[in-house]
Amino acid sequence: MAKKEGKMIGLLSAATVEKFLDMVIQNTPILKYVTCPKVDLPSGSYPVVNMAQYKTRGFSNAHNSTGGRKTVATLQELNAADVSYNLKELVLALVVQDSYVDDMATTPEKVAEMFAKVFAKDLSQVLINGDTELEPVDAENLTDRELTLAILDGLVKQMTEAEKTVTYGDTETTVSKKIIKLISGSPDDYIANPDSKIFISPTDMNLLWDEVTTTKPIIKERDGALYFRGKYELVEIAGLAQNCILFGDMTGLLAPLGREVYLETQRYPEARGFKGVLSCRIDCNIHPYINMRMLVAEPEVPEAPAGGGE
């Protein structure tokens, strides 16, 4: 990096970026299950391999419900596996005190790891709960979280807008009943897919464990992982709201990370340390035919006006 006016500013080297992005992916649990390529271009498209379909013979599936089998599919009937992206900038400001820098002086990788872990938390939040139309609590004083979430539309909003949802009602009073309702409301292709998983919030996971202690066992342990009814792996994802449960194959979500990463540091006397500002570029887009469903509450039915008037 070039030094200018007492600041360290510049584009990180290719080798440093690769190591940093690897640490970000390692510390962002959701990125282990989505399609997360490192890209050079600010916009373009990327193939989501698991979304490719055997369309040349016109097999009928959840994406092609026309029925019947054809010898050759027409060009209009082909489904592309590519998902378009347009990277947005995500900025992280972090203050590192002198005492911490001194402790880490012999291992600067620890400082980079700290940046990666903090950045991973912001990245996970925006990928899951991002909403460009988010209404702030105070429009004149936006919080850091509100500014971060407004960068792009995350998984939850995109799944809702694409109507890839299954509703639950008052009869689904336990987490296990909600999961069963979600699986039952999903297409057979998702149920039979060996890559399908259940993505659940930490709160719901704790409630599910409580249910296990009072009812018949519904969770099985195998090879260090937990499986619902011994079939679908349970994946705990921080950032998911309670009762927001997902079922299916999450590789249909494209979350590219740009290889253009900037880092600027400067002395911060008031805090007896240094202030670092990290700039990365990300995006989040689901495939139109993503093999996943999300559980949502049934919409409330408005009460009839008093007096029974029409």
- DSSP secondary structure code for residue 52 in this structure: -
Residue 69 has a CB neighbour count (10 Å cut-off) of: 8
Higher pLDDT: 16 or 69? It is 16
* pTM of the predicted protein model: 0.82
The model's confidence at residue 52, banded by pLDDT at 50, 70 and 90, is: low
Report the pLDDT value the prediction gives residue 273, as an integer from 0 to 100: 80
Domain edges within the chain: 2-47+83-297
**Residue 149: both structure tokens together:** 């979430």
Q: Tell me: the pLDDT tens digits for 157-209?
A: 999 999 999 999 999 999 999 999 999 999 999 999 999 999 999 999 999 98
pLDDT at 89: 93
pLDDT (mean) for 56-77: 48
What phi, psi does 300 have (nearest 5°)? -70, 135
